[in-house]
A and B are shown apart, each in its own frame.
Chain A
């Protein structure tokens, strides 16, 4: 009986030791990230033939993310500054592309992240305002999609958790649902990394004076995230997002009933010398 008790205790301790804690670092630090995205959108013709129209845009930004302050509850305030921008779009003129690059380079954002990774508030610097009716890119949206939600308790390999948070970067609230699963924990280059599979889903429903834009169903994304457990930072993340949209062009009083969207996002931390 005593042997069984000891064996049970040993088993419980062994189980506990398989669990890992995923938490953001609390040491003030700056990290450099490269973010790359590509967006393909197809307007499928009613016949579904080769007359479908297509848009392709690519964006690559080098950014510096600085942890400004860590609060007692584990939340922290960050500042995101863009160091360089490369942008291209087949639906914008050369001058507009140049403007967009210049405009993005001037953007700096501050935001607060809770200890589990949920982004609370985005504070655009310099009282930046999205200009209604002007189609400028919204960078915070990209980072919201890639930001992980970390489990509130220790987890073992194979365990899943989920989280949801609001994206209000466009001025309208969208709830983004995310699911995660711890796939592996391993060492690389002196760092302990946790490999997470990530699922994202949300509905798109936006409207202004010119356009009403809604998703037919959930936009769905799948990806992989490497979390640096040593420093408590995102090491890399990739995500592919797909879905169908219906767009009402209110200015021309027409409907685009079938837009297929595919967005690929990759972000990787750059190791400092």
Chain B
């Protein structure tokens, strides 16, 4: 019931009540859609380039294996490709795609071309949150004789 300008009360029809409720629901739905569109969960894509450094330009890299983990459940792996300095396409479990953990490994029989600090692989990630936590562990790096050597792994953001 509403009050008219003259101060008398007027009963609202059911149709008016229903249209009011419908309008309210429509506004609520629109505001929800707009807030989702502007939320920080909008996925962004990032490229990480991984480098294995043997510490010497003379040292040859014949094989490497590393594990990458995103521990905050804020990103998933969506693609893996070879690096610029390692000719072989890396091996990985296809189950790792759309997951947050992957083991990447490759070997080459042409190790004379891979010396020093090598860009071995590139990972493409889809981040669903602004605060992903990346962790990478070098499992093994070996020279042309198949002997594990001391090496470090690092990553930078690619283009």
Do A and B come together as binding partners? no
B binding-site residues for A, Cβ under 8 Å: none
